[in-house]
Amino acid sequence: MIQVRFEALEEPWQEVSRPELIGWLVFYALFLLHAATDGDGFLLIDNANLIVHEAGHLLFSYLGEAMMLWGGTLLQLIVPAALAAAFLFRRHLPGTAFAAFFFFENFLYISVYMGDARRQELPLVSGGGGDAEHDWFAILSRLGLLEYDTTLAFLVRLLGWLGMVATLAWFTYRSLASKQ
C-alpha cells in the first residue's frame, strides 16, 4: 500500500549550490531558446512525449472509447505531474522543477496537435496499429469546438510558456531562499 507522508512537505528543500543553479538555468535558457526558435513545433523532447502519449491511448482504452481518445494527452500530463509530486515529497528541488517544467512543456506539444485539428496535416502515429485518428479533431468535434481549434491551441501554448517561466522563477527563488 502506498502511504503519503504529508509531514515530509514540512521538511526543508535540499539545497542547490550556486554552480548547480547556474547550470540548470543555462540548460533551461537553451531549451527555451530552442522552443522559441523551433519552426515545426516538434521539439527534441517531444519524441519522448509521443511515446508516453501513445501509451496513454493503450492504457486508457480499457476505460472506453472516450477515455482512449483522451488517454494520450492525459498520460503525457500525468507522467511529469506524478514525477513532480514524487520529487516534491522528497524535497528535491531540481527534480521537482525539472518535472514541473516538462509538465508545462507538454502544453506546447499539445497545442501543435490541437491547432492541427481542422487541417489534419501532421503525420500521425498509431500505437495500436491501423489507421490513426486525429485525437483533437475527434475531441473538438464531439465537444462542438472544432472551429476554435487554433484559438484553443494558442491558449494552451500560452499556458505552457507561462508555466515554464513560472517554474523557473519558482526554482530560482527557492534555490536562493534556501541559502538564507
pLDDT digits (tens, 9 = 90+) for 7-47: 777 888 999 999 999 999 999 999 999 999 998 878 888 88
Range of the domain at 162: 46-175
Distance CA 35, CA 107 (A): 12
The verdict on residue 21 lying in a domain is: no
The verdict on residue 5 lying in a domain is: no
The verdict on residue 140 lying in a domain is: yes
Torsion of CA 19, 23, 164, 166, to 10 degrees: 20
The verdict on residue 121 lying in a domain is: yes
The verdict on residue 27 lying in a domain is: no
- C-alpha cell belonging to residue 74: 492525459
Please give the residue that has the higher pLDDT: either 105 or 129.
105
Taking only the tens place, the pLDDT of each residue in 116-147 is 999 988 887 765 555 678 899 999 999 999 99
The verdict on residue 37 lying in a domain is: no
Q: How confident is the model at residue 9, as a pLDDT?
A: 77
- Number of folded domains that form the chain: 1
Q: How confident is the model at residue 130, as a pLDDT?
A: 55
pTM of the predicted model over 0.75: yes
Find the helix or strand (DSSP H, E) in which 4 lies: none
Q: How confident is the model at residue 27, as a pLDDT?
A: 97
Taking only the tens place, the pLDDT of each residue in 50-104 is 999 999 999 999 999 999 999 999 999 999 999 999 999 999 999 999 999 999 9
The verdict on residue 136 lying in a domain is: yes
At 3, the pLDDT band (50, 70, 90 cuts) reads low
The verdict on residue 20 lying in a domain is: no
Query: Helices 93-115 and 135-143 sit at what angle, rounded to 10 degrees?
Result: 70
